[in-house]
Amino acid sequence: MSFSRSQGDARKRHVRFADSVLDGSLAEVHEYEVSECPQISPRTFDECCEELLERMDIPDLAVRNSALSHVQARVLHLATTWRGSHVVKRALEIARREEQEALVRGLHGHVLELALSSLGSQVLQWCLQLLPARSVHFIFAEIVASAPSVAQHDFGHGVICRIIENMPIAETVALADTLLGFPGGFSQLSKDVNGQVVVKSLLDYGPPAAQECIRHSLSTCNGPPVKPFALGEPRSLCDAKSSHSHIRRVASW
């Protein structure tokens, strides 16, 4: 079988039939035209995301499970795009516990990368809010060593706050110790607009020892009192004179 072009951009297909006689040779040729198949443009990424969102809301379990499987296979890529991140969120909302764990498995090893991006940070925060603590422990484990710098990042500080608000006491104690337990830790956070949000989260949801440490640090600031966590100028909980002073940790911390 072979193909050739004819006028009008149609294709002619040549088909040869062997004679029915034993040991017959290829002889008779039949020729007919086949219209050119139209080019089908690939669907856009957003269209694929819309279809996944629709399929996840269909009552048919087979359709829903198929959509979840597609999300699971592409979760890291989806988490870094605007429309894809909403697909991940919807998948986390409708998935059962074991399905949720399977979905977030694709994020393991990429927490810092995601935390420092606007969309990735939002996905991690959704995970911390929607999943049980044991399913998102990997987020804490991958970020805790870098917590002081992440806490001052425009996108990363939100992940730190969600950990403080949603993780068990053991994790929040370890995180607070990393944030406040080195010389100048509180001072550095208090001078940064994002760090101030993290300090506020520690005061509201953190372990008691961390709250006491922060209150003690605030009480030892020199100069006139500054309203805590005012996000305007000056961008510090203490005045400029005391902002670089060493903040002592209380004995109970």
**Band of the pLDDT at 23, cuts 50, 70, 90?**
low
pTM, two decimal places = 0.71
**Which carries the bigger pLDDT value, residue 128 or residue 247?**
128
Mean pLDDT of the 25-34 span? 46
Q: What percent of the chain has pLDDT over 90?
A: 63
Average pLDDT (39-50) is 76
Query: For position 30, what pLDDT does the model report?
Result: 47
In three state form, how does the secondary structure of the chain look? Answer: CEEEECHHHCEEEEEEEECCCCCCCEEEEEEEEECCCCCCCCCCHHHHHHHHHHHHCCCCHHHHHHHHHHHHHCHHHHHCCHHHHHHHHHHHHHCCHHHHHHHHHHHCCCHHHHHCCHHHHHHHHHHHHHCCHHHCHHHHHHHHHHHHHHCCCCCHHHHHHHHHHHCCHHHHHHHHHHHHCCCCHHHHHHCCHHHHHHHHHHHHHCCHHHHHHHHHHHHCCCCCCCCCCCCCCCCCCCCCCCCCCCCCCCCCC
| Residue that wins the pLDDT comparison between 29 and 170 | 170
- Is the pLDDT reported for residue 32 higher than 50? no
